[in-house]
């Protein structure tokens, strides 16, 4: 057995000290992570608010542009009812095309096959008695 020298810490004391220092480091890292995440959350919230304001203003601008197009057609000599009807029909055509393109894209959505297979292999390796289906 090793001799204990006076003034030198024992192995138990060194382990306790190391454990305490690791705990302090973990607490410090957690505090740093909290501070960084708080800053990121504030920036994210601010960015989200700016995007919302931009969308709000863009929406109203599109309404005003629609009215301007209608009055432009009236100034070009069309009856007001016909000018605004043409603008509405044009918007409906664009909306219909976007819906068709969206519908064709929905058919391309597939389950994440590689992830499912990887998860099945992991489960069969970790859980005894688990069988792949």
Per-residue pLDDT tens listing for the chain (133 residues): 455 566 788 888 888 888 888 888 888 888 888 888 888 889 899 999 999 999 999 999 999 999 999 999 999 999 999 999 999 999 999 999 999 999 999 988 888 888 888 888 877 877 766 555 5
Judge contact between 124 and 131, C-beta under 8 A: yes
Judge contact between 114 and 121, C-beta under 8 A: no
CB proximity list for 124: less than 8 A, separation 6 or greater: 130, 131, 132
The rounded distance, in Å, linking the Cα atoms of 90 and 96 is: 10
């Amino acid at each position: 057995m090793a001799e204990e020298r006076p003034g030198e810490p024992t192995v138990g004391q060194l382990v306790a000290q190391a454990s305490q220092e690791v705990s302090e480091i973990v607490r410090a890292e957690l505090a740093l992570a909290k501070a960084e995440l708080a800053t990121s959350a504030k920036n994210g919230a601010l960015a989200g608010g700016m995007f919302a304001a931009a969308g709000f203003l863009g929406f109203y601008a599109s309404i005003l542009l629609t009215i301007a197009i209608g009055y432009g057609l009236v100034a070009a000599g069309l009856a007001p009812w016909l000018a605004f009807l043409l603008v509405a029909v044009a918007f409906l055509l664009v909306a219909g095309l976007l819906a068709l393109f969206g519908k064709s894209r929905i058919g391309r959505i597939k389950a994440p096959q590689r992830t499912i297979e990887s998860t099945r292999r992991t489960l069969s390796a970790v859980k005894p008695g688990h069988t792949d289906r």
